[in-house]
Amino acid sequence: MPELQPRHLQRRYDVVVVGGGPAGLAAALGAREQGAEGVLIVDRESEPGGILQQCIHHGFGLHHFKEELTGPAYAERYLGQVLEHDVDILTDAYVLDVDPSRRVGLLSSRHGRTEVDAGAVVLAMGARERTRQAIRIPGTRPAGIMTAGFAQKLVNMAGYLPGRRVAILGSGDIGLIMARRLVLEGAEVVGVFELMPHANGLTRNVVQCLHDFGIPLHLSTTVVHIHGDERIEKVTVAPVDESFTPRMDQAWDVDCDTLLVSIGLIPDNELARTLGVRLDPVTTGPVVTSSMETSRDGVFACGNTVHIHDLVDWVSQESQLAGGAAGGYATGRHRRADNVRLLPGSNVRSCIPHTITTEREHTIFLRVTKSLAPCTLRLGEVYERPLRYVVPGEMVTLKVRPRFLQGFHGGNLRVDVVAREEAAA
C-alpha cells in the first residue's frame, strides 16, 4: 500500500475533502474522475475508512460491488481505487476552518498548524451518535455507559470487552449488531429495551442478532433510572404507555455492569455551522443542490453529514457525485443552477437533494415518517410509481429522469408517499 501521509503538502489543491470515511473516499475519487488535479483528504483517525473499519459484519457493497462485503473489506477496496487515482490522504489531522476564499486551516500531527488553498471543499464528516445526555436519563453518572458505536470500536478494533453483563437501550441496528458481537465475545446481554412499540433496526437484524442468541427484546419499555457509584450496577426499566410515559408501578431492576445506548445518529456539522452553511432543520445537515453544493459557493457536502443513510452504497454514490461536482467547480466547469425545489409532502420526512434541474437525471433519497404498504410515490402531478412498502428505517431512492419533468414548468415539486387506495381514488 502506498504511504498515506504526504511528506509535503501542496500549497493549493483543486479539492480538499474533509473526512476520509466512505463519503470522503468516494468524493475524492469523483473529483479525480472529473478532472481535479490535486485532491487532499483530511481525516482525524490514524487510517482512512471511517466507521467502516469497525463494522466487521456483512451487509456492505451489494449495490456498489455487486457482492456482500464486511465494512473493512468495503473500505479496503474503495481505498485501493482512491490510491490508484493519486490522492493525498492526511491522517491524524483536523480541518479547523475554511475562510471565504476557501483557504483551509489544518492541524496535523505531521505538519502542525498549516494552511492550504482549495478550489473547492467537500464536507464529508459523517455523523455522531446520540448519547445518554441527549435523552436525559435520571440517576447517577457512573462508568460503564457508552454509545453502541463506541463499544463497537472498543470490541472490534481496540480489543477491549466493555463489560460482562450488558443492557442495551434502543434497538437501532448498531445496538442489535453489538448485542450479537458481545455474546460472541463472551459477555452476557441481559436485554434490549426499546421505547417504541416496534424494533428500530431491520427485522433481519432482530432475527440474526437477538433471536439467534435468545436475547430478549422489550418493546415499549425504557430505562428510567441508572444506579451505581464508580461503575454502573443496575438500571431500572419500565414499560411506557401510548404517550411514552413510563408506568412506574410496573418498573423493575436489571443488574448490569454496562449500558449501551443505540438511539440514533445525528449529522456531524460543527464545521458546517462555523462556515455559515444553511442547514435543514429536519435532517440537521446542509441544504444541498443536485450537485451536492451547499449554500456557500464551492463548498459541497455528502454522506451522513448531509442526512443519515442506511446503506453505505448510497453514501458512495452520492459522494462520488458531490466530489465530481467539486472537481468540476474547481476546474471552472460550474454546473447551471437548479430550477426545481423539492418539497417534502405527505408522509415524507426529508428529501435530498433539496433542489434539482429538469435537464439531468437525478437520484432522490427520501425518508418517510410512517410505514405504509402498498403505497404510491408521487412527484407533484407529473410522475408516480407504485411501491411495495415504505418503512421509516429504510431510505427510498427514486431516479428522476428528465422526461418525467418534460411538461413541468413550475418551481416547486411536492413529493408524497400515499397509501395505494388513496392513490387510486
Partner 1 sequence: MSETSHYLCIGCPLGCRLEVDTQGDEILEVRGNACKRGDTFARQEHVDPRRFVTTTVAIEGAPWPRLPVATAGSVPKHVMREVCEALHGLRLEAPVELGQVVLPDALGTGIDVVATRSMERR
Kindly list the residues in this chain that would bind partner 1 in the complex (CB under 8 A).
1, 46-47, 53, 56-58, 69-73, 75-76, 155-159, 181, 183-185, 202-204, 206-208, 211-212, 388-389, 391, 393-394
Instruction: Give yes or no for a cis peptide into 353 (omega within 30° of 0).
Output: yes
Nearer to partner 1, 13 or 78 (CB): 78
Scan for cell 483530511, then name that residue: 42
The least CB distance from residue 183 to partner 1, in Å, is: 8
- Spell out a b/e string for 195-217, using b for 16 or more CB atoms within 10 Å of the CB, else e: beeebbbbeebbebbbeeeebeb
Task: Report strand pairing: 412-419 vs 258-261.
Answer: unpaired
Scan for cell 407529473, then name that residue: 382
- Take residue 24 and report the three cell numbers written for it: 470522503
The least CB distance from residue 393 to partner 1, in Å, is: 8
Q: 281 Cβ partners below 8 Å, 6+ apart?
A: none
Nearer to partner 1, 254 or 387 (CB): 387
Nearer to partner 1, 216 or 402 (CB): 216
Find the Cα–Cα–Cα–Cα dihedral 102, 78, 308, 354, rounded to 10°: 50
Nearer to partner 1, 14 or 313 (CB): 313
Scan for cell 415518517, then name that residue: 369
Scan for cell 411506557, then name that residue: 240
The least CB distance from residue 169 to partner 1, in Å, is: 22
The least CB distance from residue 414 to partner 1, in Å, is: 26
Nearer to partner 1, 70 or 114 (CB): 70
The least CB distance from residue 134 to partner 1, in Å, is: 26
Nearer to partner 1, 113 or 388 (CB): 388
The least CB distance from residue 5 to partner 1, in Å, is: 13
CB 359 within 8 A of CB 401: no
